[in-house]
């Protein structure tokens, strides 16, 4: 037997973490003959500390990767850091340090914590997005988008703080609409910014062919893209003798005769020209008020409708009617054309607006089964499709023809056409702050906007800058960065001082992992074809309409440029749930319920924490972290340790077979099947439950003669192997202690025989007249006729039947038999 020792993770875990790293057993070689499996988790932001949310995400993720490695795959499981972003810049301002120093110090701390976890990270593939060797290629990618017409500069709205004289990210605007830095009221201001034309791919982004994603995430992306079919109608206004067309998109061209007013976004360029002198003061005041509102506030359907009449009018090109032009905050310039035709009878938002301001409401659609009525008596708009009424030559047009007939008329008259629009807007990537990848653009007085030549990349981000009280980006005050020469004419020029949205970094990091040290190109074609696309991606559902959408856009655009050979970045996506505090609330510092893993790792070891995080609930649903319950998992691992170290026989074991050894062998095969199926489907909690059951069953037998059998020894070995993905350190130690060569994490996954997963017998519950009287062990293959004979011939059953005649014999196969006597029926 093995010399019994105490389970001591403080000794075991550092030992194996060191050895794994020395032997590089988790590095995925590029020349492996095994099939590839690219296993990826969303990389962390280097805030400085891992919390229980990280462990909840990474522990099951790592267990799955280990499982796939044992199934024979060449698993690539890289890790890195999403290292640019606003928190580092805020920390630099608050602490009087450099953002780079703060970030790199945090990364070093998190590396140690990630190693402490014992996950199979491929550290040779690490990427850090704030390092020049990474952001050089982020800048190169921007240039490719620019060359292909997918990156452009235009005026776009941003949060503007008059006090700091700078733009702010949404996170820097407090709920009351003030700047978190100086307290000034934040306004919306249009400034020159860079955008990517993600809208060019709107239609393709609606398709999810060939990938396995959660339906909820697919739905969220489709809703975010917001495809709408309808028509563009060109209303027009006479301004100082000039005919000015104002296009409007509508999904209901069949309601065009019901237009009784027209609404422009307050920031629409035609507002000033349409506004009369009498209305100018009210319009200007409203525009100024709107500039202080966020888009979320403006689009809130619950708030009371507001607006101002401009004094101007537009003409409906279909009916010829002139209608008043209003401005209202619920219309945004960035959505569609920034104009809305008001049809209050058949749109609820317009209905509420018309009621508020006393505007006419005219019914032009008659829903099926209704009669025309006075809109003054309505409590809400009639939004259903129906027959056109009060619509000139279109009156009487049935609902199935109404839209197509109006569109045909628009096109024939040259006043509109069929159109598909999307809610999705181009991706604004400019950030007026320091800690991000510099945008590789130069502005020359002679040549205008000039891209930085690729051989001059990277455009280095200064490592030491000063944050001035103005709150502007420090890059504006760094002469060595700002001032340069034009690549075309050689004259003096200046650099773009905006940096890129950090979502740019995370939109391609998964590509760089395939070829992380290539200093000649972002990636080689060979590396991409070897590893991409990602086979399994794990991360939070909160990224559905940002990171996950942007990454899909990047891949499709780069494919069309000829750099990639696939259509989707992530073939299979899984969202983890959320870890809650012991109080059942989301963990947060403000609630005081945040739990850091370090003290638990110190007390119990990483394996216990890993297994506990997998055991608290289904991976996609989450659960509450309760400190007292960690002890239960610790006891389980100790029982495994004690069972193996006490029971393992180092010499000859008995090959004798009997009923007990066959029972143990069936237990082994049934557990292999259960754990295999659970791990395939991310059911880590039930996989651990199956191993706990197996462990308990073996403990009951460990002092019996069967414990010296080959079947028992195989069961112990299998128990260790099945537990290994979830508890890698303790199982590696036990594997070595039991005389095995090589790492358990490189051993083959146990196989099961389907026939041995089935029980040879089952327990039959026997009832007499509905009351349980006996339990019999019956061979599985027993026929119903034989079951009846065995039941009725059983002495105990017979004593309850007595001399009564058997009226019925009811048999539920494999479960229960009920003997019903004639006497009982008579009663």
pLDDT band (50, 70, 90) for residue 165 = low
Angle at 491 between CA 490 and CA 496, to 5 degrees: 95
Q: How would DSSP label each residue in 10-58?
A: HHHHHHHHHHHHHHTTT---TT-SSPEEEEEEPPPP--S---HHHHHHH
Residue by residue, DSSP assigns 201-253 as GHHHHT--TT-B--HHHHHHHHHHH-EEEEEEEEEEEEETTEEEEEEEEES-G
| Average pLDDT of the chain to the nearest whole number | 92
Q: Which of 94, 176, 181, 85 is nearest to 471 (CA)?
A: 181
Q: Tell me the torsion sign for CA atoms 124, 129, 132, 134.
A: positive
Segment 310-347, tens digit of pLDDT? 999 999 999 999 999 999 999 988 777 899 999 999 99
Mean pLDDT, residues 644-661 taken together: 84
Q: Is the pLDDT of residue 198 over 80?
A: yes
- Compute the average pLDDT of residues 103-119: 94
Query: H or E element: which one contains 817?
Result: strand 816-821
Output the CA torsion sign for 487, 490, 496, 497. Answer: positive
State how far the alpha carbon of 245 is from the alpha carbons of 233, 339, 450, in Å.
10, 11, 35
Q: Is the pLDDT of residue 671 over 70?
A: yes
User: Is 471 a residue whose pLDDT tops 60?
Assistant: no
pLDDT of residue 588: 65
Q: What is the Cα–Cα distance from 279 to 275, expressed in whole angstroms?
A: 6
Contact 39, 76 (CB under 8 A): yes
pTM, rounded to two decimals: 0.87
pLDDT digits (tens, 9 = 90+) for 723-737: 999 999 999 999 999
At 826, the pLDDT band (50, 70, 90 cuts) reads very low
- Mean local confidence (pLDDT), 142-164: 89
Cα–Cα distance measured from residue 619 to residue 59, given in angstroms and rounded to the nearest whole number = 10
| Of 288-292, 501-505, 757-761, minimum mean pLDDT range | 757-761
For 92, the enclosing helix (H) or strand (E) is helix 86-95
Share of the chain above pLDDT 90, in %: 77
**In this model, does residue 492 exceed pLDDT 60?**
yes
CB contact burial 226-264 (16+ within 10 A = b; e otherwise) = eeeebbbbbbbbeeeeeeeebbbbbebbbbbbbbbbbbb
Give the mean pLDDT of 599-606.
Answer: 94
Determine the pLDDT at residue 381.
Answer: 97
The pLDDT, as a whole number, for residue 171 is 61
Q: Is the pLDDT of residue 126 over 90?
A: yes
Nearest to 672 by CA among 689, 691, 686: 691
**The tokens of 181 are what?**
């830095």
3-state DSSP call for residue 165? coil
Listing DSSP states for 764-805 in one string gives: EEEEETTEEEEEEEEETT--HHHHHHHHHT-HHHHHHHTT--
User: What confidence category does residue 827 fall into, taking pLDDT thresholds of 50, 70 and 90?
Assistant: very low
My answer on whether omega of the bond before 458 falls inside 30° of 0, hence cis, is yes
Average pLDDT over residues 17-35: 96
DSSP result, 522-560: S--HHHHHHHPSBSEEE--GGGTTTHHHHHHHHHHHHHH
Per-residue pLDDT at 4: 63
CB 51 within 8 A of CB 586: no
pLDDT in tens, 239-260: 988 999 999 999 999 999 999 9
| Cα 621 to Cα 145, 538, 593, 617, 736, distances in angstroms | 39, 14, 19, 7, 36
- List C-alpha distances in Å: 277 to 238, 270, 325, 335, 348: 16, 15, 14, 28, 32
> 1: Cβ–Cβ under 8 A, 6 or more apart, which residues?
646, 647, 648, 649, 650
Q: Per-residue pLDDT tens for 771-790?
A: 999 999 888 888 999 999 99
Q: How confident is the model at residue 174 (pLDDT cuts 50, 70, 90)?
A: confident
CA–CA distance, 631 with 610 (Å, rounded to integer): 13
pLDDT one-digit tens code per residue, 253-298:
999 999 999 999 999 999 999 999 999 999 999 999 888 777 767 7
Strand runs (DSSP E) across 602-676, as ranges? 622-624
C-beta atoms surrounding 302 within 10 Å:
4
pLDDT in tens, 225-241: 999 999 999 999 999 88
CA–CA gap between residue 81 and residue 127 (Å, rounded): 6
Overall average pLDDT of the 187-195 stretch: 87
How do residues 50-83 score in pLDDT, each as one tens digit? 888 889 999 999 999 999 999 999 999 999 999 9
Evaluate if residue 791 carries a pLDDT over 80: yes
Q: Is the model more confident about 686 or about 162?
A: 686
Q: Are strands 536-538 and 36-41 parallel, antiparallel or unpaired?
A: parallel
For residue 460, pLDDT over 90 is answered with yes
Give the separation between CA 393 and CA 32, rounded to whole angstroms: 73
Tokens 């009487």 found at? 396
Quick one: what percent of the chain has pLDDT higher than 70?
A: 96
Of 669 and 173, which is predicted with more confidence? 669
Q: Which residue blocks in 475-605 are alpha helix, DSSP H?
A: 479-482, 502-506, 509-512, 525-531, 547-560, 598-604
The model's pLDDT over 213-226, given as tens digits with 9 standing for 90+, comes to 999 999 999 999 99
Residue 2's pLDDT band, with cuts at 50, 70 and 90, is low
pLDDT for the residue numbered 107: 95
Distance, in Å, from the CA atom of 785 to the CA atom of 783, rounded to the nearest integer, reads: 5
Q: What is the mean pLDDT of residues 679-698?
A: 96
Whether the CA torsion 368, 373, 376, 378 is positive or negative: it is negative
Q: Which of residues 236 and 186 earns the better pLDDT score?
A: 236
Say what angle helices 684-701 and 710-723 make with each other, to 10 degrees: 150
């Amino acid at each position: 037997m093995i010399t019994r020792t105490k389970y001591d993770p403080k000794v075991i875990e550092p030992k194996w973490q060191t050895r794994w790293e020395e032997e590089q057993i988790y590095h995925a070689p590029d020349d492996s003959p095994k099939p590839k499996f690219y296993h990826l988790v969303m990389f962390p932001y280097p805030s400085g500390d891992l919390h229980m949310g990280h462990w909840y995400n990474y522990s099951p993720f790592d267990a799955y990767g280990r499982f796939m490695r044992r199934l024979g795959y060449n698993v690539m499981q890289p890790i890195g850091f999403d290292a640019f972003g606003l928190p580092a810049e805020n920390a630099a301002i608050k602490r009087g340090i450099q953002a780079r120093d703060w970030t790199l110090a945090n990364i070093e701390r998190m590396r140690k914590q990630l190693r402490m976890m014992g996950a199979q990270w491929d550290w040779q593939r690490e990427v850090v997005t704030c390092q020049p060797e990474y952001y050089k290629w982020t800048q190169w990618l921007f240039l490719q988008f620019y060359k292909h017409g997918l990156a452009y500069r235009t005026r776009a709205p941003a949060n503007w703080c008059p006090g700091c004289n700078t733009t702010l990210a949404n996170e820097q605007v407090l709920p009351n609409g003030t700047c978190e830095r100086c307290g000034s009221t934040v306004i919306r201001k249009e400034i020159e910014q860079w955008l990517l034309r993600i809208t060019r791919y709107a239609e393709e982004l609606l398709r999810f062919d060939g990938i396995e994603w959660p339906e909820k995430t697919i739905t969220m992306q489709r809703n975010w893209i917001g495809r709408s079919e309808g028509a563009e109608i060109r209303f027009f206004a006479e301004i100082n003798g000039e005919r000015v067309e104002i296009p409007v998109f509508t999904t209901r061209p069949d309601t065009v005769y019901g237009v009784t007013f027209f609404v422009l976004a307050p920031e629409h360029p035609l507002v000033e020209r349409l506004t009369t002198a009498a209305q100018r003061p009210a319009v200007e005041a409203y525009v100024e008020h709107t500039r202080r509102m966020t888009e979320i506030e403006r689009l809130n359907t619950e708030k009371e409708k507001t607006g101002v009449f401009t004094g101007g009018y537009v003409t409906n090109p279909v009916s010829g009617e002139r209608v008043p032009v209003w401005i209202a905050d619920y219309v945004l310039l960035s959505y569609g054309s920034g104009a809305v035709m008001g049809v209050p009878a058949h749109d609820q938002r317009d209905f509420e607006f018309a009621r508020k301001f006393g505007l006419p409401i005219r019914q032009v659609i008659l829903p099926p089964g209704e009669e025309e009525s006075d809109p003054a008596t309505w409590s809400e708009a009639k939004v259903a499709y129906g027959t056109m009424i009060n619509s000139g030559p279109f009156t009487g047009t049935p609902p199935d023809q109404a839209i197509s007939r109006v569109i045909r008329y628009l096109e024939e008259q040259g006043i509109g056409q069929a159109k598909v629009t999307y809610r999705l807007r181009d991706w604004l990537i400019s950030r007026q702050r320091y800690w991000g990848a510099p945008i590789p653009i130069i502005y020359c007085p002679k040549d205008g906007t000039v891209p930085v030549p690729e051989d001059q990349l990277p455009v280095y981000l200064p490592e030491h800058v000063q944050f001035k009280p103005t709150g502007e980006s420090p890059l504006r005050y760094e002469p060595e960065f700002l001032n340069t020469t034009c690549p075309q004419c050689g004259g003096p020029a200046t650099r773009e001082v905006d940096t890129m949205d950090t979502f740019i970094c995370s939109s391609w990091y998964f590509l760089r992992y395939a070829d992380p040290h290539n200093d000649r190109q972002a990636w080689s074609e060979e590396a991409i074809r070897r590893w991409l696309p990602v086979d399994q991606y794990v991360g939070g559902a909160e990224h559905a309409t940002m990171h996950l959408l942007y990454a899909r856009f990047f891949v499709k655009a780069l494919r069309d440029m000829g750099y990639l050979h696939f259509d989707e970045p992530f073939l299979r996506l899984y969202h983890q749930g959320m870890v809650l505090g012991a109080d059942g609330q989301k963990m947060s510092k403000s609630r005081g319920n945040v739990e850091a893993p370090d003290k638990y790792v110190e007390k119990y070891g990483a394996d216990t924490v890993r297994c506990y995080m997998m055991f608290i609930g289904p991976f996609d649903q989450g659960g509450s972290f309760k400190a007292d319950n960690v002890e239960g998992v610790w006891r389980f691992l100790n029982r495994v340790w004690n069972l193996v170290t006490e029971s393992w026989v180092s010499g000859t074991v008995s090959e004798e077979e009997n009923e007990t050894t066959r029972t143990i062998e069936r237990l082994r095969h049934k557990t292999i099947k259960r754990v295999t199926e659970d791990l395939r489907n991310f059911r880590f909690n039930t996989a651990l439950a199956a191993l706990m059951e197996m462990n308990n069953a073996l403990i009951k037998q460990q002092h019996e003669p069967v414990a010296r059998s080959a079947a028992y020894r195989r069961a112990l070995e299998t128990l260790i192997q099945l537990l290994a993905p979830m508890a890698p350190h303790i199982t590696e130690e036990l594997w070595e202690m039991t005389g095995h060569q090589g790492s358990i994490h490189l051993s083959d996954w146990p196989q099961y025989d389907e026939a041995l997963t089935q029980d040879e017998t089952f327990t039959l519950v026997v009832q007499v007249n509905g009351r349980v009287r006996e339990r019999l062990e019956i061979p599985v293959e027993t026929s119903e006729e034989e079951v009846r004979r065995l039941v009725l011939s059983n002495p105990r059953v017979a004593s309850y039947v007595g001399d009564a005649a058997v009226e019925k014999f009811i048999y539920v196969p494999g479960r229960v038999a009920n003997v019903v006597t004639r006497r009982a029926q008579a009663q």
